[in-house]
Amino acid sequence: MANVSALSSSPAVDVINMASRGHGVDDTTWLALRVVHGCLAAAAVVVNCLSLVVIYGVVPRLTPRLQLLTSLSFSDMLSAWAVMTLYFSYSVCQESINISLLLCACNASAWLMIALTTSHSVAIFRPLHYNKIVSQRRVWAVIALAWFVGVFMACSGFLATAAGHYVDLLPFCVQAHAHQQVALIVSTFLTAGAFFFTAFMCGRIVAHLRPIESIANGGETSTSRRSTHRVTSTVMVAALHAVTWMPYLIVKCVQLSRGVREDSVAITVGLAVCHTLILGACLLNPILCALRMTSLQTGYHRLYRRSRDCAAKMWFRIKRKETDANEQPSTPLNPLMESAY
């Protein structure tokens, strides 16, 4: 009974009770947040799906960088869908599932950032062995491992509850919610570590490329300029990932550690802002990659031309059918009918 009373008064139960009470905000604000988050989530899913269509359907060659970017697109779509689970019909497991899904996407993105930076490093420092080290089979294995580790870390609260002492009088999700603070702390350190690792490795790459640029007749070569451009893009994506996920992880850790009996409205508004930042990052990631990658720019141009040609052909067929329907069929009786009228 002591365990039951302790769990019933824990911050996890308070968070779930707050969810059932409307999250501490009025209905108008909650509806506005739902509309804004819904529009951002739909736009993020559409843009990421368009990016996947370009990568798999238009781009002629699937490079390791594009493989990692496709997995990042899937994590962005998972993040967008996870945020919208807050607005589904209420259940006891709603808050726990929302945190676990968001942590899955966050952890997978962090590991993929590390893999993307490592592939850049291999391309710069060991270019002759790049195709052997960074093969497609190894990249797919790294992607699968990143998702497995990310899901395992995100679901550690459920695993700890299942492996530990289970109280039958309380729902399983309530007890799992009490163990999710460890998963949040681990994800926070992983996100920060991925950003610092990316910044360090990309700074090392830029420092390595600077002498090459200065030697080439006092100017930049196309290869070094393109490599620096790719490194800058990777740093921008990693910085966007850290800036959007770190506030959510910190606010969520504070919420679970302090409970929500005090300042529940402030914490709820803070989480809503963090969710908006996450959805904005999910929308900006494919746009940023499309603006700074030559292969994706070429793919989008080809997709635009194909779509324009298909639309022109469909319009021509529709107009031709209308013209054929309006024209009178040519028969020997046409002159007699014209003279009669």
| Residues 96 and 20 sit within 8 Å (Cβ to Cβ) | no
Contact 245, 304 (CB under 8 A): no
With 90 as the cut, is the pLDDT of residue 45 above it? yes
pLDDT digits 0-9 by tens, 246-289: 999 988 888 887 754 444 777 888 888 899 999 999 999 999 88
For position 296, what pLDDT does the model report? 84
Pick the CATH number of 2-301 from 2.60.40.420, 1.20.1070.10, 3.30.930.10, 1.10.3470.10: 1.20.1070.10
**pLDDT exceeding 70 applies to what percent of the chain?**
76
Q: Taking residues 87-100, what's their average pLDDT?
A: 81
Lowest mean pLDDT among 29-43, 80-94, 107-121: 80-94
Distance between CA atoms of residues 298 and 232, nearest Å: 20
Length of the chain: 341
Q: What is the pLDDT of residue 7?
A: 45
Residue ranges covered by each domain of the chain: 2-301
Q: Is residue 44's pLDDT more than 90? A: yes
- How confident is the model over 136-190, as pLDDT tens digits? 899 999 999 999 999 998 888 788 777 766 666 667 777 777 778 888 888 999 9
Distance CA 26, CA 187 (A): 31
Total-model pTM: 0.79
Average pLDDT over residues 103-130: 89
**Distance (Å, rounded) from C-alpha 158 to C-alpha 137?**
32
Rounded Cα–Cα distance for residues 308 and 306 (Å)? 5
3-state helix, strand, coil in the chain (%, to 5): 85, 0, 15
pLDDT of residue 4: 40
Question: 313 or 22: which carries more pLDDT confidence?
Answer: 313
Q: Is 24 or 217 the better-scoring residue by pLDDT? A: 24
Structure tokens at 301: 């141009």
Where is pLDDT greater, at 90 or 40? 40
Predicted local distance difference test score (pLDDT) of residue 325 = 58
pLDDT (tens digit per residue) in 180-227: 888 888 899 999 998 899 888 888 887 877 655 444 445 544 555 555
Q: What is residue 245's predicted lDDT score, i.e. its pLDDT?
A: 92
Determine the Cα–Cα distance for residues 132 and 289; give it in Å rounded to an integer: 25
Q: Would you state the pLDDT for residue 141? A: 93
The residue with greater pLDDT, 52 or 255, is 52
